[in-house]
Amino acid sequence: MFPRRSFLQLPAAAFAQAALAQTPTRPNVVIIYADDAGYGDVGCYGATKVKTPNLDRLASQGIRFTDAHSSAATCTPSRYSLLTGDYAFRRRDAVILPGDARALIEPGHFTLATLFQKAGYETGAVGKWHLGLGRGNLDWNHAISPGPNDIGFNYSFLIPATGDRVPCVYVENGRVVGLDPADPIRVDYSKPTGPEPTGRANPELLKLHPSHGHDMSIVNGVSRIGYMSGGKSALWVDEDMADTITKKATDFIGRNASKPFFLYFATHDIHVPRLPHKRFLGSTQCGVRCDAMAELDWSVGQILDALSRHKLDRNTIVIFTSDNGPVVDDGYEDGAVEHLNGHTPHGGLRGGKYSAYEAGTRVPFIARWPGPIKPRSTSDALISQIDLLATFAAVLKTGLPSDAALDSFNLLPAFTGRSRQGREYLVQQARGLTIRKGNWKLVPPGAETRRAAGLPTRTVDNPLELFDLARDRAETANVAAAHPAVAASLTALLAKVQKDGRTRP
């Protein structure tokens, strides 16, 4: 039924030793973490209506994975898992957070940044955070703690949550950037904080209208989720956001060019509100969502060029991936649906952001590491972002605390392309949990809600579903009835993973 050989057994260990023997010592590491970029949004994954020359260049110089996954179909859980090596479903509060949520990763929790910091690296987090800040009832007008600087990052420049949530300010090393003390910030997610107009009451003030929700405080002509007043001098301009955070990222590279560094660069693109700089408007054949994708590709190019300029290409690992699958209409009337023009963000997979099906978590994943990774490589190994922590521990030749990275495995052989064998199985999180093992995918009852046929106002939960992805990549044929033993085995495995509390030995 399933192959008996585990990826943790001796052959994989031998591959790991061979890979380690050829790796440069103390490579710099840059993780570029996109937002809502789907499997089909990148040129080297099949996109034709939007050009991504920098991402295609990165793939031509490294390895492109075709079965790589975020740990969840939404942003906060995926980010939590990437940084901690833990499945986010193990924490009830690891869900999509409001902009004023308390810190999800507490000081003392071992993270990817902790790993590098303990190894003597300079560590930086730039861009979207969305993992909470402070300890609750946060006062944005004073020092903000805990945050990234308390969990392994030496430097941070953050979009606190998302572009569509207040507060619409940047936070650098725990302080709101450009704040006038005489104009204090007030944030509330339950009631207005002042007499300021809202998208709901004053749609005439909007340059971008919501399609659903997103009708509270107006900043830069866009209504957001949540209420905010004050902080006028600190408000961001959406159209300049990519330029601002990309410059902070390249500056971090330049400042640390003479020492080993780890940079976690989390872009806002291509999340809503999609307001790319005017130089990217109309640059693609599939509307503003793709224009934002072109802006994202530009940001990638700026990172690659900075590494080249400082002669760091040869000893820097660069990873590009996304926090979850694609979404088109995600709350604003930006024309993204109307102007797709045949573009398929899901790349032929089923589902997308929020979904239990493959396009919810199967995302682009490209890695470049000159020497250990051969150029123009492709791998179909099953890998997850949750494994980056254990894999980089192997790269640095250091151990992990027994109570850290509970679900992270060393996939260095697969990561470098020296083995086609990746994870033995993988749990995926959406509304509920699903599980992959080899080519089998189990979607338990209730893991997905769908619209009932012929009843547009009514939704129903999915039945037990089993898919053979080797024959049915788009998950169109439920074969649970034909393979009851496989369905039963995967159901039992999923229950065990939940019950045991960890999967790493």
pLDDT for 23 equals 53
| Amino acid making up residue 66 | T
Q: Establish whether domains 10-185+234-423 and 431-500 are of one fold.
A: no
Joined together, the tokens standing for residue 115 give 């790993």
Residue-wise pLDDT for 70-114, tens only, equals 999 999 999 999 999 999 999 999 999 999 999 999 999 999 999
Closest CA to 156 of 197, 179, 125: 125
Sequence-distant (6+) residues with CB within 8 A of 51 are 43, 284, 294, 297
Closest CA to 341 of 396, 278, 288, 299: 288
Contact 273, 222 (CB under 8 A): yes
The Cα–Cα gap between 447 and 117 comes to 38
**How do the domains of the chain map onto residue ranges?**
10-185+234-423, 194-229, 431-500
The Cα–Cα gap between 498 and 269 comes to 33
Residue 365's beta-bridge partner residues?
65, 321
pLDDT for 10 equals 39
* CATH number assigned to the domain with residue range 431-500, chosen from the 4 options 3.10.20.740, 3.30.1120.10, 3.40.30.10, 3.50.30.10: 3.30.1120.10
Residue-wise pLDDT for 408-424, tens only, equals 999 999 999 999 999 99
CA distances from 114 to 82, 263, 399 (A): 13, 12, 12
- Is the domain defined by 10-185+234-423 classed in CATH 3.40.720.10? yes
Contact 16, 8 (CB under 8 A): no
| DSSP E strands, 35-181 | 63-65, 68-69, 122-128, 155-159, 171-172, 175-176
Sequence-distant (6+) residues with CB within 8 A of 207 are 221, 222
Closest CA to 8 of 331, 278, 409, 334: 409
Closest CA to 74 of 133, 130, 127: 130
Question: Does the pLDDT at position 24 exceed 60?
Answer: no
Residue-wise pLDDT for 155-178, tens only, equals 999 999 999 999 999 999 999 999
Contact 392, 29 (CB under 8 A): yes
| Residue pointed to by tokens 């963000």 | 345
Q: Is 47 exposed, middle or buried (0-12, 13-18, 19+ CB in 10 A)?
A: buried
Share of the chain above pLDDT 70, in %: 94
Which pLDDT band holds residue 17 (cuts at 50, 70, 90)? Answer: low
pLDDT for 272 equals 98
Kindly state the average pLDDT of the residues 328-353: 98
- Helix or strand or coil: residue 249? helix
Kindly report the pTM of this predicted structure: 0.95
The Cα–Cα gap between 80 and 129 comes to 10
Closest CA to 45 of 383, 325, 282: 325
CA distances from 87 to 72, 82, 353 (A): 9, 9, 18
The Cα–Cα gap between 423 and 432 comes to 21
Sequence-distant (6+) residues with CB within 8 A of 101 are 132, 133, 161
Sequence-distant (6+) residues with CB within 8 A of 449 are 431, 459, 460, 461, 462
Question: Does the pLDDT at position 7 exceed 50?
Answer: no
